[in-house]
Structure 1
Amino acid sequence: MLSFLKRMFGRDEPESAAIGRRGEREAEKLLKKKGYQILARNFRSGRDEIDLICLQGKAVIFVEVRTRKVGALVSGYDSINQRKREALKRVCRNFFGKMKPKPITLRFDVVEVEHEEGVVTQTRHFEDVPLFSKSANRGV
């Protein structure tokens, strides 16, 4: 992909994309330390994408990673607006529809990564963020 961007635009990818990828790697490291198994990275369904799909015990966890500058006006957690929530629901439903056997529990988490000039300063993990209906959390 990087070589494609260089050929297409004659330069490397934008700095913000590199910082976003760095944030995703930091989130992945944090989740692995907590015992999560990574099932998929950057899973796409049409235009929609979810950053990480993990397994913890019998629970499948969909994880959105939000990377922000220290002191940003809107936190990563709060930056997930209704339009993004709907896109996340679509991509998660698509992935869930392909799973066999179906998991017992589904969950949505957010990992917020703060950086200063591209250097990660803090990572926060928010578990079980409301995205799905309560019946979906029971595997219904």
Structure 2
Amino acid sequence: MSRTGELGAAGEELAVAWLRAHGFIIMDRNWRMGRYELDIVAARGDRVHFVEVKLRREGGLTRPEEAMTPAKGRALLRAANCYIETCGVMLDCQIDLIAVEYAPDGSTEVRYVPDAVTLRW
């Protein structure tokens, strides 16, 4: 695995740990169906959360939150709709973002952004 791939996998592990620590149940990870993909599908209460994980090195040109572009939001919405149809989800849903930043000293910061994509189901 490449250094970038290792960093991405570590970022997703941090995101999963954060979600579990905050009462989420992980339903799926790295779900794919054709051209659609979702990083994490989690549930808390009576809601399903489609969680996109973005990571960056601290001090880079952009923050992880800036990677949630309108085009990425539309792609996530299509993927979420495919998941809902394929898996028969009958709960309220939302798309969230977990931003992970790696500092040069090896520390990390994890930020949760609920409803990162305005849904139009």
Q: Of Structure 1 and Structure 2, which has the larger fraction of its residues in strand?
A: 2
Point out where structure 1 has 5 or more consecutive residues left out of the alignment: 1-12
Distance 1:41 1:101, change over 3 A: closer
**Distance in 2 (alpha carbons) for counterparts of 1:93 and 1:87:** 10
Higher Cα Rg: structure 1 or 2? 1
**Distance in 1 (alpha carbons) for counterparts of 2:119 and 2:107:** 30
Partner of 1:116: 103
Secondary structure of the corresponding residue to residue 132 of structure 1: coil
Task: Give the residue type in structure 2 aligned to 1:30.
Answer: W
Shift of 1:87: 1.6
Q: Superposed, which structure 2 residues align to 1:20-39 within 5 Å?
A: 20-39=8-27
Task: Give the residue type in structure 2 aligned to 1:114.
Answer: E
Secondary structure of the corresponding residue to residue 129 of structure 1: strand
Partner of 1:44: 32
Please, what is the CA RMSD of the aligned residues?
1.6
TM-score of the aligned structures, taking structure 1 as reference length:
0.79
TM-score of the aligned structures, taking structure 2 as reference length:
0.91
Point out where structure 2 has 5 or more consecutive residues left out of the alignment: none
Identity %: 27
Question: Is this contact kept in 1: 2:73–2:117, CA < 8 A?
Answer: no
Aligned residues: 121
